[in-house]
Chains A and B, each alone.
Chain A
Amino acid sequence: MNLLSVNNLHVSFQIKKQELAALIDVSFTLNRGERIAIVGESGAGKSILGFSIVNLISKPGFIKSGSVKLERKELTTMNLRQLQEVRGKRIAMIFQDPMMTLNPVISIGDQLVETIRSHTKITYKDARNIAIKKLQHVQISSPEKRFDQYPHELSGGMRQRVIIASVLLLNPDVIIADEPTTALDVTIQAEILQLLLDICHDNGVALVLISHDLGVVSKVAERTLVMYAGRIVEEGPTLEIINDPQHPYTQGLLNALPQMTLPGQRLNQIQGSMPSLTERPTGCAFHPRCPYATDKCQQEQPNFIHSGVSSVSCFLVEDMVNEFADQSVEPHE
């Protein structure tokens, strides 16, 4: 039984009379304690996917069709009260900018206590003890002192630790982390990632990491989904995707990294840029930027097919797989 399963999810935005598709036919599953990553450029729909899992899409956006199931419970049809039971308690979110997430006029301790007390009936004193314990858990020094401090008194890394502590308060099953380390320095980033990994490992929490940094993804996730223009274009074990990317977009993303070319040489760039929602190309959305695009790519949307341990949606790979299948059949005939 999968912990979380997303099936054929379509999310759209209603702008004036126009309906713009932000997520198209997105499906994936997440097992208990598994760590997956969602990568892609800005505008690929990574964050929208993160938001739609907990049904946080608000007008003009809406979930058009498809299902998001947490074990047996369907999340897309829940009302607000039912959703509040899930949000935070079962599925928690960490956002990119910790300064935006924390309320600047309330001390961090009170924010943590509020979180606990809004979900469980306990006294302030007990809640305070839990909060301090969790602050200790995320390696914040002198938590009693920090409890009464305000967000602006803490550094960026410290704030992100507080956020992680607040997420842990209710022992969720899934943590969705939307670019949790983008605003941080490398040394602090390494610490926060290690902390996230330890927490997932110790408490058996599943993690959905949304990131555009393939280096970060390779350190954290077991499985990776690559998104482009609202669709998942490649899915597979992280190591496989990094060592042997199949989709031209994934290849382009990896080749664009500075460490892929010799110093002083020009970097391999992907031509063009991510299409906006209003001007989605026909057929495979990647074809205007794809070096291997054919006429077929301009007209038809490729299916999601299995190739080795990963799944890819690309005609190029499909043809290759078919060719290979034909060849392996022939000798028997």
Chain B
Amino acid sequence: MNQPLIQINNLEKAFASNDSWLKQWRFQNGKFRHHKDNVHALNGVDLTIYQGETLCIVGETGCGKSTLARTIMGLTTPTSGEIYYLDQRIDHLNNKQRMPFRRRMQMVFQNPYASLNPRMTIYQTLNEPIAFHNPQLTRTDIDEKINVLLESVGISASSSDRYPHEFSGGQRQRISLARALSVEPDFIVADEPLSALDVSVQAQVLNLMMDKQEEHNLSYLFITHDLAVVEHFATRVAVMYLGRICELASTNDLFNSPKHPYTRALLSAIPRLDSNATQPIKLIGEVPTPIEKPIGCVFQARCPYANQRCYEESPIMLLQSDATSVACHAVEEERI
């Protein structure tokens, strides 16, 4: 196995809900008490990302996928827990200390219409990070670098003085990728980069991402809810539910023998083309909001296999015989 690149230990992130100060007071037992609601976006995430792999994170809206990505990138600070890049701890760094890591970790965002500055030409957009991180380069060096970069993502270098609105969604997403690649990172976080694109354009961007991974030995953290893309692209998959990882497995193992009840339901819900597909497993209810820190298993309210132990005790990630890890009492007790 390759070397671990990013290591995350017991990461937690709680956002204070933005109730007004007056609303934070409750009348309890004859006294006013100050009480603040927290949204627990991440509840103890442990994860290792190896060099050169593509780790996909899947889960429903509100499960904390994007918060995890943003916390790793240092766009939000975690409430507790540790993040290591190779051997250096990178959470709780200030902006100046973080600067060398900014160059090595880059991000591609979901909406290419919002993530490119509409008032900067493509040249300016790419020039900024290159010039900032490589102050020793001359103007001609930078120009040449930008041209090579644009050509490498399939955009003609002659269009570098055009503005983002002159490009289509797929082209914009390729420019976003070019911007991320411009500082030669080792690690790219892609937060739903394909969800705003059509199938055929999706294929173009996905192919490009795979090419770049081979060329530069990149590691990807790829966040998506499209399981067909995951099956095609990922080396390993982490399934998240309500701020926790409930199953972590290699792509093959996950799709062939999903273990966690949530993973099973998720996989059965993919609309597949073959007519004799399985009936989707129906989950009762929707993802609960993570205002209260859940007691017991996070999935208990929707799980068809839940028993008393699931309501009381939070399951931990246990390594299974085929090297996957699952956090589920039912799997542990071999009830399913």
Contacts and interface: CB of A to CB of B under 8 A. Distances in A.
Interface string A130-170: 00000000000000000000000001111000000000000
A156 B60 CA distance: 11
B200 A41 contact: yes
A318 B200 CA distance: 25
Contact of A257 (B199, B252, B282, B283): B199
A252 interface: yes
B199 A214 contact: yes
Contacts of B227: 186
A19 to B, nearest CB: 23
A193 B279 CA distance: 13
A186 B269 contact: yes
B175 to A, nearest CB: 14
A155 B286 contact: yes
Interface residues of A, number: 41
Contacts of B271: 186, 189-190, 193, 213, 215-216, 218-219
A157 B201 CA distance: 27
A305 to B, nearest CB: 25
A63 to B, nearest CB: 26
A187 B271 CA distance: 10
A267 B206 contact: yes
Contact of A42 (B198, B233, B269, B287): B198
B229 interface: yes
B115 interface: no
B198 A212 contact: yes
A215 B169 CA distance: 22
B200 A256 contact: yes
Interface in B218-249: 225, 227-229, 231-233
A104 interface: no
B270 interface: yes
Contact of A187 (B60, B204, B211, B275): B60
Interface in B133-161: none
Interface of B: 60-61, 168-171, 198-204, 206-207, 210-211, 225, 227-229, 231-233, 251-252, 265-266, 269-273, 275, 280, 282-283, 286-287
Given A215-B273, A239-B275, A266-B211, 10 more contacts: A41-B200, A212-B198, A212-B199, A214-B199, A218-B271, A252-B200, A256-B199, A259-B272, A266-B210, A274-B198
23 contacts: A42-B169, A156-B61, A186-B269, A186-B271, A187-B266, A190-B271, A193-B271, A212-B198, A214-B273, A218-B273, A218-B275, A253-B200, A256-B200, A256-B203, A258-B206, A259-B228, A259-B273, A263-B252, A269-B203, A269-B207, A273-B170, A273-B201, A274-B198
